[in-house]
Structure 1
Amino acid sequence: MAKAYWIATYRSVSDSDALAAYAKLSGPAIIAGGGRILVRGLPALTYEAGLQQRTVVIEFDSVDHAKQVHDSPAYQEALAVLGKGAERDIRIVEGA
């Protein structure tokens, strides 16, 4: 079974307090579900389109595990706290 990667990019953050509250809840929810946070922050370098966006990469044992964590009550609670505090794009991609 291939690993899976949950990749989140933040186009904008309009409420840093909501983002901080989200982080306090989402990290433990993700880790409890077996996720391993590999990357979190702004790019050191950018190429091609050169978008300087906060990026988070989380590794899971499978796409199904990543989906289960995303859909879990604990993570959904974190999302509710974030509300419209950030415009993001989340993708779950199966490893090669």
Structure 2
Amino acid sequence: MPKAYWTCAYRLVPDHRQREVYSELATAAVKAGGGRFLVRGGRMRANEDAVVERTVIVEFDSYDQAIAAYDSELYAKALAALPPGTLRDHRIVEALE
């Protein structure tokens, strides 16, 4: 069974202190859902038409596990803590076998 990944690029974060509240709640939800952070900010180089944005990548053992973690009550609480006006691109993708 192929692994799956959450990918998230933050386009706009109006309140970085409030994002930290989200981050703490999201970390607990990801770990409870069996996810492992592979990328969480850090150095990056944007190529071609890309722009430099905070990027997060989380690995799950399966697509169903990734979906269940996103749909969980714990992650819903984290999402509710995102600062108003936050713009981000969040995707759940299944890996190749």
- State TM-score, norm by structure 2: 0.92
Amino acid at match of 1:88: R
2:55 alignment counterpart: 55
- SS at structure 2 position matched to 1:82: coil
Deviation at 1:17, TM superposition (A): 2.0
1:40 alignment counterpart: 40
Q: Deviations over 1:18-56 (max 9, x none)?
A: 201001110011011100000011542111113100000
CA distance in 2, matches of 1:10, 1:40: 11
Residue pairs, 1:1-96, within 5 angstroms: 1-96=1-96
CA distance in 2, matches of 1:6, 1:26: 12
- State TM-score, norm by structure 1: 0.93
Gap regions ≥5 residues in structure 1: none
Whether the 8 Å CA contact 1:18–1:85 is kept in 2: the answer is no
Amino acid at match of 1:46: A
- SS at structure 2 position matched to 1:17: helix
Amino acid at match of 2:76: Q
Whether the 8 Å CA contact 1:13–1:85 is kept in 2: the answer is yes
Identity %: 47
Of residues 42-51 and 55-64 in structure 1, the stretch that sits farther from structure 2 once superposed is 42-51
CA distance in 2, matches of 1:42, 1:50: 16
What's the RMSD between the two structures over aligned residues? 1.2
